[in-house]
Amino acid sequence: MSYLAAQSFGAVSRGAAVDVGAVRGGGWPPLTRFLVGGTGLILPGLGTEDGRRAPGDGSSTVIAMTTAAIVLAAGASRRLGRPKQLVGFRGRPLLQAVVDAVASWPVDRVVVVLGSSADDVLDAVDFGEAVVAINEDWEEGIASSLRVGLDILGRDPAVERTFVVLGDQPEIPAEVPELLVEAAEWSDRPALVPVYRYERANPVLFDRRLWHRLMALEGDHGASDFLRAHPDWVEEVRVDRLPPRDVDTDDDVADLGRDARRPGTDGPADR
């Protein structure tokens, strides 16, 4: 795991870049420390160890395109009254189950964005090869965490698309990520959205072409309204399953244990 603290900032030019050598985490290329608005960030840079272009060297290289995933898990769980990330799910914390599942998807990079109760979550969850970011602006809402995740991935030009995943949905059917990636190979639309029995849900796969628009979102609103406003950008992928559920209340927690194998699921975007 590579760990960093982040604010939902914009362009790199707001800070000075200082090379910190061959520090690595989660299979990323050599990292660079960026000082942005006084916050120290360890982020993937464009080092030369694996043949990528170093900043300012002007060279031209072929970069293999990759797929990433951003897990949004910074919320305060106000309706539940305790960190939902740490709710027990099949013998492990809920967020652990989500991170483990995402690690098995067809992705090359995983970024997990934490915020509220970050210290407790870091102590309880094994993030494996994921990069973990702490969103200092988590109280703004889900849009700030999305900006943090996209800003991190945006430092690596090889990442051409990313899943956006909610950290309280451990029951994404295993075949859905693969279906979305397959659709991305033939569709020229930049947003791949699963439709579970006529209902759009998560995860959503976003092409890099849309990232700058997603980073303009604000508050506690994800991309659902944004996607509804631009139907020509969306490729719907049909899934004959029930949609994954959020975990927001004690009743939802109880359902996780009582109803682990709902009809239409394997068993075990946004709002």
**pLDDT in single tens digits along all 271 residues of the chain:** 545 554 433 332 222 222 222 222 344 333 333 322 223 333 333 333 333 333 334 444 444 569 999 999 998 877 777 888 999 888 899 999 999 999 999 999 999 999 999 999 999 999 999 999 999 999 999 999 999 999 999 999 999 999 999 999 999 999 999 999 999 999 999 999 999 988 999 999 999 999 999 999 998 877 888 899 999 999 999 999 999 988 878 888 888 766 544 433 333 333 3
Q: Is residue 3 part of a domain?
A: no
Structure confidence at residue 1 (pLDDT): 56
Burial (0-12, 13-18, 19+ Cβ within 10 Å), 174: exposed
Full domain range(s) for residue 251? 65-258
Could you tell me if residue 45 is inside a domain? no
Q: How many domains does the chain have?
A: 1
Q: Tokens for 236?
A: 């719907």
Distance CA 106, CA 90 (A): 23
Nearest to 98 by CA among 129, 72, 79: 72
14 in any annotated domain: no
- How far apart, in whole angstroms, are the C-alpha atoms of residue 55 and residue 156? 12
The answer to whether position 40 is within a domain reads no
Any domain includes 115? yes
Residue 265: inside a domain, yes or no? no
Measured between alpha carbons, how far is 182 from 235 in angstroms, rounded to an integer?
12
Judge whether 9 lies within some domain: no
CATH number at 238 reads: 3.90.550.10
Contacts of 34 (CB under 8 A, 6+ apart): 12, 15, 16, 17, 18, 40, 41, 43
- Say if 51 falls within a structural domain: no
Q: What is the pTM of this model?
A: 0.76
